[in-house]
C-alpha cells in the first residue's frame, strides 16, 4: 500500500479530481457565471406572434452614439457596464420623451459625450433638446430614475455617476436645474453610483431615494487586463472585476419634504447588509403589506431584498426569500431586473439578467414576498449565450400575458477576435409567454429589430407613438440607440393606467395595480427604475386579449385601496388617488 | 513490507505456539509426551520426530501428538509436512488452539489466503489474543483493507508498537482512513527512531499537509531540503508553500522537482493544479505538454490538459485529449466523464449522454459516470415523473451511495427533489450532504429552501448565518487564489507574479 501526498491532499491536482470541479474552475473569472449549458429547446409552439419590432431610431432622429469607453477594447470595467435610459414625459404633454444617459472616454470626451433629452414630436420623431433643457452633462453616467420628488406635478430626474450623482429638478417649463448640492446629495467624494430608485419608504407622501453603489473604484490604482486572475475571460486578458475589487455600500436618503434629503442609511438598516456589487434597483411592495420593499440586483454577489419594517427600517432577506442566489445557492451576475406578473395571478414576480454562460433568473412570488426560482420550469434556461442587461415584463402582443424582453451585449470587445462564439454585439432575446407557465424564445420572427446585433445595455419600455402597444428604447455602447417600434397586428385589447397621487407621492411610485380581465388578474407596480439602470413609461400597460372591460384595483402607497369596475378597454385612464378616473385626461393623439 | 512482516512474526509465532501447546497438553501417554516436548524445547526436532512415530502409531487420533509433529516439521523447515500435521490435528479437534495457531502461522508465513480464517478462529477462541490480532491487522494491511487493519491494530495492545515496520503499516492505514492526527503521532515516533525508513519523513509531511499544517510540513521536510532533495520532497514543500499562499516559492520548488524527476507525471499534474487555481491555463497546458513528451502514454496528463483546454474554450483540443486518454487507458472512466461533460457544456446533450452511457455499459457502477449521467439528464430539464427525470434521480442516488464521501450527487438529488416538490426529501438529502461536507453551499441553500417550503422556520436564522459565513470564506479563498498568476518567462521558466 502506497502512501502519497496526493492521496491525502485535497488539492485539485491530477486525475483523482472530478471533472465537474475542473470545469467549474472558470467561475474564478471576474464575473460570476455558473457555466451552465442551456436547457434543451422544446419544439416551437407554432403560434403566431402578432408583435413585430423594427428599429426606427434612425428615422426617429436618434442618430448620435452613446459614448462609453473604448470601442475595440475596454481597459477598465468602468468602460464596460454602460448606462440606462428613460421614457419620461417631462413636459406633461401626454407623449413620452426620451432621456439617454452617456459615458465618456478615458483620454478625453468627444463632443457627442453628454446625456441627451429628446422631445417627442408626436409624429414618430424626436428633437434633441438637451442644451435647452439644461441637461448637458459629461461624465460616466450609469443609472437614471425618474420621479416627482417635490410633488409639483413634473417628473424630476436623478442620475448616478462614477463621480458625483446628480439630481435634476424639473422646472415645469421645459428646463431642468441641477439641485444636487442644495438637496444635500453631494457627497464630496468619488463613488460608483449604480442603480437608484425613488421610493416612499415611510409613506409620508414624499419620494425618498435609494442608491446602489457598484464597486469602490480608483482609476489611478485599478488593475489592468491580465494583471490578476479576475482580469481574464477564458484565458484572454480583459478588464478586471468586479470580483477582486472592493464592493460598494448602498445608500438611502429620506426626503425632508422641503427639497432636501437626509442620509438615513445607517438608521434604516440598509448599512447592515453585506457588501455587494449593487446594480439595478426596483422598489415595490413584494409582500403585499402596503409598504414598499427594495430589491437590488447585485453582480457576482448575492442580490439584496430589503423588506420594509413599517418603522423606517428594513431587514435584508434576499437569501431567505429566494431571490439572492441561483437554485444551487451560488451568486450570479445580477444586472437588470424586470418586475411583472407572468402567470398572471396578482403577484409581482421578478426577472433578473445575468452573464453569458448562465441563465437569467425568473422568480415567482407567492404573494408573501417569498420567491421560487422558476427559470428552468419556465424554459428560460434555453438561452445562455449572451451577457444580458436591460429587461422587463411587457405584453407585447396584448394577449393578456406578460412577455419578457432582454437586451444583450458583451463586455469584452477583445474576446470575439479569439472566440467568435462570444460576439461583442448580440441580438435581443424575446421570450413570449405561452400562458402555461412557460416561455418560448423568439428571434427574427418577432421582427428584424429583435435580431439586430448591438452591444446593448439599458432599455426602457413604453408607448412612444401612443398606438396602444409597448415599444422599446435601448442604449447601445458607442452606437446610436435602438428604438424598437412595435407594429402590432391583430385585434387584441389593452388598457393603460396612469396614476396621480394625492396623499401618496404625486408620481404614485410604489403603487400596486391589479387589473381583472377575462378571468385573470394581473399585477403591475409603478416603479421608478427597473430594466437595467432605466426608467420606463409611467403609464402601466396591460394587454387584455379578448376582454373588453376590466376592473381595476389600486393599492396606493398611502395605504388607500381603490377599486374601479367596468372600465372599457383600449384607452388610457388617469386615476387620481381617491377620486377615481379623471375625465379628459386620456389618450393624446397627434 | 509484507514479506518482512511475515518473517518477523514467524519466529515469534513458533515460540508462541509451543507455549500454547504446553499449556494445553492433555497427553494420552504422559511420559511419551514429556519426552517429545523436551526434545522440541531443545530444538532437537529429529529426536522429537523419532519419538512421535511410535506414539502416533499407538494414538493416531491424538491431536496433541499431531501438533507436536507439526512443530517438529516446522522446526526442520518441512512446511508442507508441518501444515499437514496441524491440519490432521484440527481434523481430530477443530478447536484445538495450539494446532490452530501452528496452522495459522504457517499459512500466514506462506501468504496463503487460509491464514485469515485460521486466525479468526484463534481470536474467537481467545478474544484477547493480541498476537493474532496483530497478524490479522497485517493481513488486512496487505489486502489494502485499512478499515479492518486499524480495527485489528486497535485490539493488538502495545506489543507491535516496538516494531517499526508494523507500526508504520498502522500509521499508513490511519492516514488512509483520514485519522491524520493519530497518524501524525505515529510517524513522529517513527522518525524519532534512528536509521529507519527515510520515506517516513515524506509520509509525515504528507499527513501534515492533509492536516493543513504547511508550516509543520516544511519543518518536517527541512532536513531533506538541504543538499540534494528528492523530487517528492520538493513537491511536498511546494504544496506546503502553496498552502501558505506563497505561490512563487511553490512554483520554484515544483520546477526543481520536475528537473529532478522529469518522468514523474504527478509533478506535472500538481503544476497543472496550481495553474488551474491561479487561472493560468495556457501555462498549465504548456507544462502538461512538456510532461507528455516525457510520458506520452499518460492518460492522466491528457485528461488534465483537456480540462485546461476547456478553460481556454479550446474545445477541439480538449475533446482530442479526452479521447486520447480513453484510448490509452480504457479503464479510466474520468476521461469519458470529462468528454461527456464537455459535450454537455457545448449543449450537445445527446452526444454527452451517448458518451457517458457508452462507458457506463462497461463500468455500470462507476459513481462519477453515474453522476455525470444524472447531471446530463437533469440538464435536459425533464418533466417531473418522466422516465428521464426518474433515471436522473436513480443515477444520482446510485452515485451517491457508491461514493458516500462526496456530495455532488446528493446536491443534484436535492435540487431535483426541490423541483419535484419533494421538499422533505430534499431537506433530508441536504442534511446528509452537509454531514459529509459541512462547507457544501448548494446543500445548505437547498436545506434553507426546503425548510422554508415545509414551514420549518426555526433553524433558518442560524442556517442563513452559516451560509453567510461560508460565502465570506469562499470569497476570502478566492481572493487568495487570485493573488498570483503564473507567467512564462523568457527562458521558458514559469514564475508566479501578483
Q: C-alpha angle with apex B225: B221 to B226, nearest 5 degrees? A: 130
Q: Which of A521, A517, A174, A212 is nearest to A347 (CA)?
A: A521
* B239·A11 Cβ contact <8 A: yes
Distance of CA A472 to the CA centre of its chain: 13
Asked if B406 has any chain A CB less than 8 Å from its own CB, the reply is yes
Q: Chain B partners of A329 at a C-beta cutoff of 8 Å?
A: 441-442, 444-446, 448, 467
Q: Over its length of 498 residues, how does chain B's per-residue pLDDT go in tens digits?
A: 444 444 444 444 444 455 555 555 444 566 778 888 889 888 899 999 999 999 999 889 889 899 999 999 998 888 899 999 999 999 998 888 888 888 888 888 777 778 888 888 888 888 888 888 888 888 888 888 899 999 988 888 877 777 888 889 999 999 989 899 999 999 999 988 876 677 899 999 999 999 999 999 999 999 999 889 999 999 999 999 999 989 889 999 999 999 999 999 999 999 998 888 887 888 899 999 999 999 999 999 999 999 899 888 788 999 999 999 999 999 888 888 888 888 887 778 899 999 999 999 999 999 999 999 999 999 888 889 999 999 999 999 999 999 888 899 999 999 999 999 999 999 999 999 999 999 999 999 999 999 999 999 999 999 999 998 998 888 777 776 666 666 665 444 555 554
Mutate one of B383, B449, B474 to test the A interface: name it (highest A CB count within 10 A). Answer: B449
Q: How far apart are CA A129 and CA B426, in angstroms?
A: 58
Q: How large is the ipTM?
A: 0.84
A383 pLDDT higher than 50: yes
* A235·B312 Cβ contact <8 A: yes
Alpha-carbon dihedral sign for residues B224, B228, B229, B234: positive
Q: State how many domains chain B has.
A: 2
- B41: closest CA of chain A, how far (Å): 38
Q: How far apart are CA A503 and CA A520, in angstroms?
A: 30
* A8·B175 Cβ contact <8 A: yes
Spatial contact of A467 and A71, defined as CB atoms under 8 Å apart: no
Asked if B279 has any chain A CB less than 8 Å from its own CB, the reply is yes
Q: How far apart are CA A421 and CA B484, in angstroms?
A: 28
How many helices (H) and strands (E) in chain A?
A: 5, 38
Spatial contact of A530 and A282, defined as CB atoms under 8 Å apart: yes
φ, ψ for residue A244 (rounded to 5)? 90, -10
Spatial contact of B270 and A14, defined as CB atoms under 8 Å apart: yes
Q: How far apart are CA A86 and CA A89, in angstroms?
A: 10
Q: Which residue of A has its CA nearest to B140?
A: A1
Q: C-alpha angle with apex A212: A207 to A213, nearest 5 degrees? A: 145
Asked if A28 has any chain B CB less than 8 Å from its own CB, the reply is yes
Q: How far apart are CA B281 and CA B186, in angstroms?
A: 39
Spatial contact of B373 and B360, defined as CB atoms under 8 Å apart: yes
Contact partners, residue A558, CB within 8 Å, separation at least 6:
A203, A205, A501, A503, A504, A577
Phi-psi map region of A35: left, alpha, beta (phi>0 left; psi -120 to 50 alpha):
left
Number of Cβ atoms within 10 Å of the Cβ of A46:
6
* B172·A377 Cβ contact <8 A: no
Indicate the residue of A8, A18, A39 with minimum beta-carbon distance to B209.
A8
A13 pLDDT higher than 50: no
Q: Which of A376, A340, A341 is nearest to A360 (CA)?
A: A376
Q: Chain B partners of A35 at a C-beta cutoff of 8 Å?
A: 345
**How is A363-416 classified by DSSP, letter by letter?**
EEE-SSS-EEE-TTTTTGGG--SS-EEEEEEE-TT-SSS-EEEEEE--S-TTGG
* A23·B332 Cβ contact <8 A: no
Q: How far apart are CA A527 and CA A529, in angstroms?
A: 6
- A144: closest CA of chain B, how far (Å): 31
Q: How far apart are CA A198 and CA A209, in angstroms?
A: 5
Q: Is residue B80 part of a domain?
A: yes
* B467·A331 Cβ contact <8 A: no
Q: Chain B partners of A36 at a C-beta cutoff of 8 Å?
A: 379
- A331: closest CA of chain B, how far (Å): 9
A19 pLDDT higher than 50: no
Q: Is residue B387 part of a domain?
A: yes
Q: Is residue B271 part of a domain?
A: no
- Region A433-457: mean pLDDT is 97
User: What would the pLDDT profile of A148-175 be if each residue is shown by its tens digit?
Assistant: 999 999 999 999 999 999 999 999 999 9
Asked if A368 has any chain B CB less than 8 Å from its own CB, the reply is no
User: What would the pLDDT profile of A227-274 be if each residue is shown by its tens digit?
Assistant: 776 788 877 889 998 988 999 999 999 999 999 999 999 999 999 987
- For residue A430, count CB atoms less than 10 angstroms from its CB and return exposed for 0-12, middle for 13-18, buried for 19 or more: buried
**Which of B79, B109, B126 is where one domain is finished?**
B126
Q: Is residue B254 part of a domain?
A: no
Spatial contact of B262 and B294, defined as CB atoms under 8 Å apart: yes
The per-residue pLDDT for B79 is 87
Indicate the residue of B206, B311, B460 with minimum beta-carbon distance to A3.
B206
- A277: closest CA of chain B, how far (Å): 13
* B334·A9 Cβ contact <8 A: no
Q: Which residue of B has its CA nearest to A241?
A: B482
Indicate the residue of B210, B278, B338 with minimum beta-carbon distance to A19.
B338
Indicate the residue of B311, B381, B415 with minimum beta-carbon distance to A39.
B381
- B180: closest CA of chain A, how far (Å): 9
Indicate the residue of B173, B468, B485 with minimum beta-carbon distance to A274.
B468
Q: Is residue B432 part of a domain?
A: yes
* A1·B276 Cβ contact <8 A: no
Spatial contact of A414 and A238, defined as CB atoms under 8 Å apart: yes
Q: How far apart are CA A390 and CA A517, in angstroms?
A: 28
Instruction: Find the helix or strand (DSSP H, E) in which B244 lies.
Output: none
Asked if A18 has any chain B CB less than 8 Å from its own CB, the reply is yes
Spatial contact of A77 and A240, defined as CB atoms under 8 Å apart: yes
pTM: 0.79
Q: Chain B partners of A13 at a C-beta cutoff of 8 Å?
A: 266, 269-270, 272-273
Query: Per this entry, what is the length of chain B?
Result: 498
Mutate one of A15, A34, A237, A384 to test the B interface: name it (highest B CB count within 10 A). Answer: A15
Q: What is the CATH number of the domain that holds B107?
A: 1.25.40.10
Query: 3-class DSSP state for residue A573?
Result: strand
Spatial contact of B319 and B339, defined as CB atoms under 8 Å apart: yes
**Which of B62, B92, B126 is where one domain is finished?**
B126
Query: 3-class DSSP state for residue A278?
Result: strand
Q: Which of residues 80-109 of B touch A (CB under 8 A)?
A: none
Q: Is residue B185 part of a domain?
A: no
Q: Is residue B157 part of a domain?
A: no
Spatial contact of A149 and A177, defined as CB atoms under 8 Å apart: no
Q: Which of A79, A84, A214 is nearest to A533 (CA)?
A: A84
* A244·B479 Cβ contact <8 A: yes
Instruction: Please give the residue that has the higher pLDDT: either A123 or B22.
Output: A123
* B332·A15 Cβ contact <8 A: yes
Asked if B132 has any chain A CB less than 8 Å from its own CB, the reply is no
* A14·B176 Cβ contact <8 A: no
- Provide the residue range defining the domain that includes B100: 2-126
* Beta partners for residue A505, in sequence order: none
**Which of B126, B157, B173 is where one domain is finished?**
B126
φ, ψ for residue A295 (rounded to 5)? -110, 135
Q: Which residue of A has its CA nearest to B278?
A: A229
Number of Cβ atoms within 10 Å of the Cβ of A50:
19
Indicate the residue of A5, A38, A320 with minimum beta-carbon distance to B464.
A320
Amino acid at each position: 500500500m502506497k502512501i502519497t501526498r496526493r492521496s491525502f491532499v485535497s488539492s485539485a491536482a491530477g486525475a483523482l479530481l472530478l471533472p465537474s470541479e475542473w470545469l467549474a474552475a472558470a467561475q474564478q473569472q471576474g464575473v460570476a457565471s455558473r457555466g451552465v449549458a442551456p436547457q434543451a429547446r422544446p419544439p416551437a409552439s407554432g403560434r403566431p406572434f402578432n408583435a413585430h419590432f423594427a428599429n426606427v431610431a434612425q428615422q426617429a432622429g436618434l442618430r448620435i452614439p452613446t459614448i462609453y469607453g473604448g470601442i475595440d477594447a475596454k481597459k477598465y470595467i468602468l468602460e464596460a457596464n454602460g448606462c440606462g435610459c428613460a421614457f419620461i414625459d417631462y413636459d406633461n404633454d401626454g407623449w413620452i420623451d426620451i432621456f439617454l444617459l452617456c459615458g465618456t472616454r478615458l483620454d478625453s470626451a468627444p463632443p457627442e459625450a453628454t446625456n441627451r433629452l429628446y422631445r417627442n414630436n408626436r409624429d414618430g420623431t424626436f428633437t434633441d433638446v438637451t442644451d435647452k433643457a439644461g441637461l448637458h452633462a459629461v461624465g460616466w453616467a450609469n443609472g437614471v430614475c425618474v420621479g416627482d420628488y417635490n410633488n409639483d406635478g413634473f417628473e424630476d430626474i436623478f442620475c448616478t455617476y462614477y463621480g458625483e450623482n446628480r439630481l435634476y429638478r424639473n422646472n415645469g417649463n421645459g428646463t431642468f436645474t441641477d439641485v444636487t448640492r442644495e438637496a444635500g446629495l453631494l457627497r464630496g467624494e468619488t463613488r460608483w453610483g449604480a442603480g437608484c430608485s425613488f421610493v416612499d419608504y415611510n409613506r409620508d407622501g414624499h419620494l425618498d431615494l435609494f442608491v446602489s453603489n457598484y464597486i469602490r473604484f480608483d482609476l489611478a490604482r485599478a488593475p489592468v487586463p491580465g494583471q490578476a486572475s479576475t482580469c481574464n475571460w477564458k484565458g484572454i486578458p480583459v478588464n478586471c472585476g468586479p470580483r477582486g475589487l472592493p464592493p460598494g455600500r448602498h445608500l438611502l436618503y429620506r426626503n425632508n419634504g422641503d427639497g432636501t434629503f437626509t442620509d438615513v442609511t445607517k438608521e434604516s438598516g440598509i448599512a447592515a447588509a453585506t457588501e455587494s456589487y449593487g446594480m439595478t434597483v426596483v422598489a415595490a411592495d413584494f409582500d403585499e403589506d402596503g409598504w414598499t420593499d427594495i430589491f437590488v440586483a447585485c453582480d457576482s454577489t448575492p442580490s439584496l431584498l430589503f423588506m420594509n419594517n413599517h418603522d423606517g427600517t428594513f431587514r435584508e432577506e434576499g437569501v431567505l426569500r429566494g431571490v439572492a442566489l441561483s437554485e444551487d445557492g451560488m451568486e450570479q451576475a445580477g444586472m437588470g431586473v424586470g418586475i411583472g406578473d407572468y402567470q398572471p395571478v396578482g403577484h409581482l414576480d421578478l426577472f433578473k439578467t445575468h452573464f453569458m454562460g448562465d441563465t437569467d433568473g425568473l422568480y415567482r412570488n407567492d404573494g408573501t414576498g417569498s420567491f421560487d426560482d422558476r427559470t428552468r420550469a419556465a424554459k428560460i434556461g434555453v438561452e445562455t449565450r449572451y451577457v444580458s442587461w436591460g429587461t422587463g415584463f411587457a405584453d407585447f402582443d396584448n394577449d393578456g400575458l406578460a412577455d419578457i424582453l432582454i437586451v444583450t451585449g458583451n463586455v469584452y470587445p477583445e474576446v470575439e477576435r479569439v472566440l467568435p462564439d462570444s460576439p461583442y454585439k448580440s441580438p435581443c432575446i424575446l421570450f413570449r409567454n405561452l400562458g402555461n407557465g412557460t416561455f418560448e424564445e423568439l428571434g427574427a420572427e418577432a421582427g428584424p429589430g429583435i435580431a439586430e446585433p448591438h452591444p446593448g445595455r439599458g432599455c426602457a419600455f413604453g408607448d412612444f407613438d401612443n398606438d396602444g402597444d409597448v415599444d422599446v428604447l435601448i442604449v447601445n455602447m458607442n452606437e446610436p440607440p435602438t428604438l424598437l417600434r412595435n407594429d402590432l397586428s391583430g385585434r387584441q385589447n389593452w388598457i393603460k393606467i396612469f396614476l396621480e397621487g394625492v396623499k401618496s407621492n404625486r408620481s404614485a411610485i410604489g403603487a400596486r395595480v391589479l387589473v381583472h380581465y377575462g378571468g385573470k388578474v394581473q399585477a403591475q407596480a409603478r416603479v421608478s427604475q427597473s430594466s437595467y439602470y432605466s426608467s420606463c413609461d409611467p403609464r402601466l400597460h396591460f394587454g387584455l386579449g379578448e376582454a373588453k372591460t376590466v376592473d381595476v384595483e389600486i393599492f396606493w402607497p398611502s395605504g388607500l385601496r381603490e377599486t374601479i369596475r367596468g372600465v372599457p378597454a383600449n384607452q388610457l385612464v388617469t386615476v387620481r388617488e381617491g377620486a377615481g378616473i379623471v375625465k379628459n385626461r386620456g389618450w393624446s393623439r397627434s | 513490507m509484507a514479506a518482512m512482516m511475515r518473517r518477523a512474526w514467524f519466529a515469534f509465532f513458533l515460540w508462541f505456539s509451543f507455549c500454547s501447546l504446553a499449556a494445553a497438553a492433555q497427553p494420552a501417554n504422559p511420559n511419551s509426551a514429556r519426552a517429545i516436548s523436551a526434545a522440541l524445547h531443545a530444538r532437537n526436532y529429529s529426536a522429537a520426530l523419532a519419538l512421535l512415530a511410535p506414539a502416533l502409531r499407538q494414538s493416531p487420533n491424538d491431536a496433541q501428538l499431531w501438533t507436536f509433529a507439526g512443530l517438529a516439521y516446522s522446526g526442520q523447515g518441512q512446511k508442507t509436512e508441518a501444515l499437514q500435521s496441524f491440519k490432521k490435528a484440527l481434523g481430530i479437534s477443530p478447536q484445538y488452539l495450539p494446532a490452530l495457531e501452528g496452522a495459522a502461522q504457517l499459512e500466514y508465513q506462506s501468504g496463503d489466503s487460509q491464514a485469515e480464517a485460521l486466525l479468526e478462529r484463534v481470536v474467537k477462541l481467545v478474544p484477547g489474543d493480541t498476537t493474532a490480532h496483530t497478524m490479522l491487522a497485517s493481513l488486512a494491511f496487505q489486502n489494502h483493507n485499512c478499515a479492518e487493519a486499524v480495527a485489528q491494530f486497535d485490539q493488538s495492545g502495545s506489543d507491535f508498537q516496538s516494531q517499526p515496520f508494523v507500526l508504520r503499516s498502522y500509521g499508513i492505514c490511519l492516514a488512509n482512513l483520514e485519522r491524520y492526527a493519530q497518524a501524525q503521532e505515529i510517524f513522529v515516533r517513527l522518525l524519532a527512531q534512528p536509521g529507519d525508513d527515510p520515506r517516513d519523513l515524506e509520509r509525515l509531511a504528507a499527513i501534515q499537509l492533509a492536516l493543513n499544517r504547511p508550516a509543520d510540513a516544511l519543518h518536517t521536510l527541512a532536513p531533506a531540503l538541504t543538499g540534494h532533495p528528492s523530487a517528492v520532497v520538493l513537491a511536498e514543500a511546494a504544496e506546503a508553500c502553496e498552502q501558505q499562499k506563497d505561490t512563487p516559492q511553490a512554483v520554484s520548488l515544483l520546477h526543481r522537482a520536475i528537473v529532478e524527476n522529469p518522468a514523474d507525471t504527478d509533478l506535472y499534474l500538481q503544476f497543472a493544479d496550481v495553474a488551474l487555481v491561479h487561472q493560468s491555463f495556457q501555462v498549465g497546458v504548456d507544462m502538461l505538454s512538456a510532461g507528455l513528451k516525457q510520458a506520452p502514454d499518460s492518460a492522466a496528463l491528457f485528461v488534465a490538459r483537456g480540462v485546461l483546454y476547456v478553460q481556454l474554450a479550446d474545445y477541439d483540443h480538449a475533446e482530442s485529449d479526452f479521447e486520447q486518454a480513453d484510448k490509452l487507458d480504457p479503464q479510466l472512466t474520468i476521461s469519458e466523464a470529462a468528454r461527456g461533460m464537455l459535450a454537455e457544456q457545448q449543449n450537445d446533450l445527446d452526444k454527452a449522454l451517448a458518451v457517458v452511457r457508452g462507458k457506463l455499459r462497461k463500468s455500470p457502477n462507476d459513481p462519477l459516470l453515474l453522476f455525470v449521467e444524472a447531471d446530463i439528464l437533469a440538464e435536459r430539464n425533464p418533466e417531473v415523473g418522466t422516465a428521464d427525470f426518474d433515471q436522473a434521480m436513480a443515477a444520482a442516488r446510485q452515485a451517491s451511495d457508491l461514493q458516500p464521501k462526496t456530495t455532488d450527487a446528493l446536491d443534484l438529488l436535492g435540487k431535483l427533489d426541490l423541483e419535484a416538490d419533494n421538499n422533505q426529501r430534499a431537506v433530508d438529502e441536504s442534511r446528509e450532504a452537509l454531514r459529509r461536507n459541512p462547507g457544501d453551499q448548494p446543500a445548505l441553500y437547498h436545506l434553507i429552501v426546503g425548510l422554508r417550503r415545509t414551514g420549518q422556520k426555526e433553524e433558518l436564522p442560524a442556517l442563513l448565518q452559516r451560509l453567510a459565513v461560508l460565502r465570506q470564506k469562499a470569497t476570502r479563498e478566492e481572493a487568495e487564489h487570485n493573488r498570483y498568476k503564473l507567467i512564462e518567462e523568457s527562458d521558458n521558466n514559469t514564475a508566479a507574479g501578483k
